[in-house]
């Protein structure tokens, strides 16, 4: 049985004081790690403080991006070595906003996934189609290509540890959610892709989240699907109350 992982992606929101207040309110209220994995992926300037604040609690801290190089002349970038040194556990890679707004390619995402494993960070790899691709029935092919490119060169054991977040781009921040059945169909396809690409063991182990306007009102139905193992949540993860409802739902599935 795969453990659900509920990750909040705060994106470029909050100031330090607000971030600290959030984790103070949530860190001892989230269920134990054996029931559900609870993660907040915060902006870089908050990571150090939030990791100190959450030490010894089930609430884990993730980053929203990183460079694939360990160090060097990459002005403005943050390396996996820096994240690991701070105590970061998870890193969101290849979010559609990174791909669309900052030109990240599948090759970049693949290099970042390898760098994450090298530094013992759990990658949350985002894939998903545009509205146009969905309307042209290209969803499955597009998502399949993204998954294969992101996982290229990983060992079977590494694939088992990856978290894949399926986020239809048209559902992000729009209030439009994929129906639970449609989301599950794509997640199930992703699991089959992993099976062909890697192994049945990897396909059984890999966690596949859904993301795109997940909120307390729809999370139960989404997490109740056979191939959805958690959620990557933007807007509804910004308030502790709402985030706690989401992780509570993960516990029940």
Ligand X SMILES: O=C[C@H](O)COP(=O)(O)O
Q: Which residues ranging from 98 to 137 are in contact with ligand X (CB under 6 A)? A: none
> In this structure, what are the phi and psi dihedrals at residue 191, rounded to the nearest 5 degrees?
-65, -40
Known catalytic membership, residue 95:
yes
Candidate ranges 111-119, 129-137, 217-225, 231-239; the one touching ligand X (CB under 6 A): 231-239
DSSP 147-175: HHHHHTT--HHHHHH-EEEE--GGGTTSS
Check 104, 167, 248, 253 and give the catalytic one: 167
Check 67, 95, 114, 189 and give the catalytic one: 95
| Residue with Cβ nearer ligand X (212 or 250) | 212
Q: Which residues ranging from 146 to 205 are in contact with ligand X (CB under 6 A)? A: 167, 172-173
Residue 234 sits in the site that holds ligand X (CB under 6 A): yes
Residue 222 sits in the site that holds ligand X (CB under 6 A): no
| Residue with Cβ nearer ligand X (195 or 245) | 245
Structure tokens at 18: 């607000």
CA terminus-to-terminus distance, the chain? 10
Q: Which residue has the closest beta carbon to ligand X?
A: 234
| Residue with Cβ nearer ligand X (51 or 169) | 169
Whole-number minimum distance, CB 242 to ligand X, in Å? 11
Task: Answer whether 185's CB lies under 8 Å from 177's CB.
Answer: no
Q: Which residues ranging from 4 to 23 are in contact with ligand X (CB under 6 A)? A: 9
Candidate ranges 72-80, 100-108, 112-120, 230-238; the one touching ligand X (CB under 6 A): 230-238
Whole-number minimum distance, CB 131 to ligand X, in Å? 14
Beta bridge partners of 62: 41, 90
Whole-number minimum distance, CB 235 to ligand X, in Å? 4
Residues forming contacts to ligand X in the complex (CB under 6 A) are 9, 95, 167, 172-173, 211-214, 232-236
Q: Could you give the residue numbers annotated as active site?
A: 95, 167
């Amino acid at each position: 049985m795969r453990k659900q992982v509920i990750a909040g992606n705060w994106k470029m929101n909050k100031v330090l004081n607000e971030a600290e207040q959030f984790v103070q309110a949530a860190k001892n209220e989230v269920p134990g790690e054996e029931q559900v994995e609870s993660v907040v992926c915060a902006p870089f300037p908050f990571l150090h403080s939030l990791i100190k604040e959450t030490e010894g609690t089930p609430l884990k801290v993730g980053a929203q991006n990183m460079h694939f190089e360990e160090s060097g002349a990459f002005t403005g970038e943050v390396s996996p070595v820096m994240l690991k040194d701070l105590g970061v556990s998870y890193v969101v890679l290849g979010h559609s906003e990174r791909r669309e707004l900052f030109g990240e390619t599948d090759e970049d995402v693949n290099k970042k996934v390898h760098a994450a494993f090298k530094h013992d960070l759990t990658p949350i790899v985002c894939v998903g189609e545009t509205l146009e691709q969905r309307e042209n029935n290209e969803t499955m092919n597009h998502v399949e290509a993204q998954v294969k490119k992101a996982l290229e060169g990983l060992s079977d054991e590494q694939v088992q540890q990856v978290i894949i977040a399926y986020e239809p781009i048209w559902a992000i921040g729009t209030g439009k959610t994929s129906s639970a059945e449609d989301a599950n169909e794509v997640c199930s396809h992703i699991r089959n892709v992993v099976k062909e690409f890697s192994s049945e063991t990897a396909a059984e182990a890999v966690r596949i989240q859904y993301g795109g306007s997940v909120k307390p009102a729809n999370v139960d139905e989404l997490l109740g699907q056979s191939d959805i193992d958690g959620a990557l949540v933007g807007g509804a993860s910004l308030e502790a109350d709402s985030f706690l409802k989401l992780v509570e739902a993960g516990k029940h599935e």
